[in-house]
Each structure stands twice: as structure tokens, then as C-alpha cells.
Amino acid sequence: MKQYIADAFTDKVFSGNPAAVCVMESWLPDELMKKIAAENNLSETAFIVRENETYHIRWFTPGKEVDLCGHATLASAFVLANFYDSSAEAFDFTSLSGKLRVRKNGSLFEMDFPSRMPLSVSLTAEMCAPFTQQPAAAFLSRDLMLVFEKEQDIIRYQPDFQSIASIPDGMGLIITAPSEKYDFVSRAFFPKIKVNEDPVCGSAHCNLIPYWAKRLGKKTLIGHQVSPRGGIVYCEDAGDRVLISGKAALFSECEIHI
């Protein structure tokens, strides 16, 4: 079986967020896909099967299947555009999060994803425990999002993954703050599903975009995920949808023997 690894939200390898992409003729057993994802040990492995004019996509971390993943969807569209259908201007996916579309926009791949405006919640001792600098506010959707006052609070943060995993709220933890050069910065952590830090997390921007669009009073934004690998995310708030755009670079192409 052919597998590709592409770095998403970057135009050069060794930055952005790497994802494995397996394009298949038919589905493998779930347990085998879980084992492949664990063997890859990347934050996400995407499995794709073509169904008529659309593609069915599923995402697996080394720990479990998840309902939505942005960077692996971008990487999948990049692989399809470069190795399977170079003439296509858009790729339609069906997924656990419904229908998703990725459109080619010059050198960018623009993902049309659901907007997930997180709800304001009270800060708790468990939420604050991983930090020396107290967050200013907390919001909750699928993931917990903590807002800080300063960009440096995000850049300099040294994560305590055990403490993050002990927070009962949310599958993952997103931390974010306003930025001087960009509209906002962020980082994302998922130790509960065996992904300590997700270098550039597309699904996190389903929360980040509506929050920052409302706070800053603007529809188009640029986010910088300031993980050690780093990546730039071009964002647009479109009501009940968000448009998340980025580039990708191919790292490897290989054959899996199973």
C-alpha cells in the first residue's frame, strides 16, 4: 500500500505539521489502521478511499480515531493533487464531521471546515495548574482553549504534559494570545490521545478563528502556531464555516508491506 508523508502549513520540509496519507482502494480493518497510525507515530495518519466523485477520509492518532483533523486533510488534498488528480480544482471529502471541501487557491489549499465557537467557562485550578502565568479566560468546545494576555506567554511556555493530561475538560488543550506581527498565536496539546504537542493544528482553528474574528472585529486573519516546528495558517470567518488555508511540502513516498 502506498503511503505519503507531507508537511502541512509550510512550503518546506522539517517545518509545519507532518501527516501520513494512505490512499486505498478499499477500507482496511479498523484495528489495522490503528496499528499503522501507531507505527507511524505522527500526530495524524489519514486514510482515504474514493467513493464516486468524493473521497471518504478518516483520521487516526497513535492513540485513537478522531472526528476532525485539519493538517492531515490539507496533506491529503496535496497528495491527491500531486499524485492522483492534478487537474482537479477542489476535493470533496466525507468524514465523521460531515462534508469537507478543500479548494486549490494558487499555491494554497483552502479547507472549508465547520466553525466551532467555544463557550466561555470558568477557570479552574486544574486548568491553571500547568502554568506559572495564569490564563485570562477559558473556553470549551471539543477542546479546552485558554486565552493569555501576551504573545510571549505562548512562545516561552514549557509544557508539562502530565499536568495537561490531568485537566478533565476537553480532548485537547489550545493556548492562544494576540500577536504583534500576526493576528494571533497559538499552540495545541493532545497528550490524552498520545500527541503531546500538535505542531500546527487545523482543527484547533475551528475554535480559534471564530473567537479571534469576533474579538478583533475582522473576517480574515493570519495565525502563527508557535510550536518548535511552527506554521502559518491563513484564516477566514464565514459564519457557520471557517476557511483554513496553507501550503504543504512532500517529505516521503513509500510502500507499506502488510
> Are both 123 and 236 inside the same structural domain?
yes
Which residue segment(s) compose the domain that 64 sits in?
2-114+244-255
> Are both 251 and 225 inside the same structural domain?
no
pLDDT of residue 218: 97
> Are both 130 and 179 inside the same structural domain?
yes
Is residue 149 part of the annotated active site? The answer reads: no
> Are both 110 and 124 inside the same structural domain?
no
> Are both 193 and 207 inside the same structural domain?
yes
Using CA atoms, how far residue 7 sits from 14, 230, 238, 248, in Å, is: 7, 11, 26, 5
> Are both 123 and 229 inside the same structural domain?
yes
Q: How many domains does the chain have?
A: 2
Who contacts 127 (Cβ-Cβ below 8 Å, separation ≥6)? 135, 138, 144, 146, 167, 169
pLDDT band at 258 (very low <50, low <70, confident <90, very high): confident
> Are both 94 and 163 inside the same structural domain?
no
Tell me the per-residue pLDDT of 191-242, one tens digit each, with 9 for 90 and over. Answer: 999 999 999 999 999 999 999 999 999 999 999 999 999 999 999 999 999 9
Residue 120 in grid coordinates: 466561555
| CATH code at position 143 | 3.10.310.10
pLDDT band at 56 (very low <50, low <70, confident <90, very high): very high
> Are both 145 and 100 inside the same structural domain?
no
CA distance 142 to 176: 16
Say which of 25, 39, 44, 65 is annotated catalytic: 44
> Are both 123 and 235 inside the same structural domain?
yes
The continuous run of DSSP H or E covering 180 comes out as none
> Are both 151 and 85 inside the same structural domain?
no
Who contacts 236 (Cβ-Cβ below 8 Å, separation ≥6)? 209, 219, 220, 221, 242, 243, 245
Global pTM value: 0.90
> Are both 60 and 97 inside the same structural domain?
yes
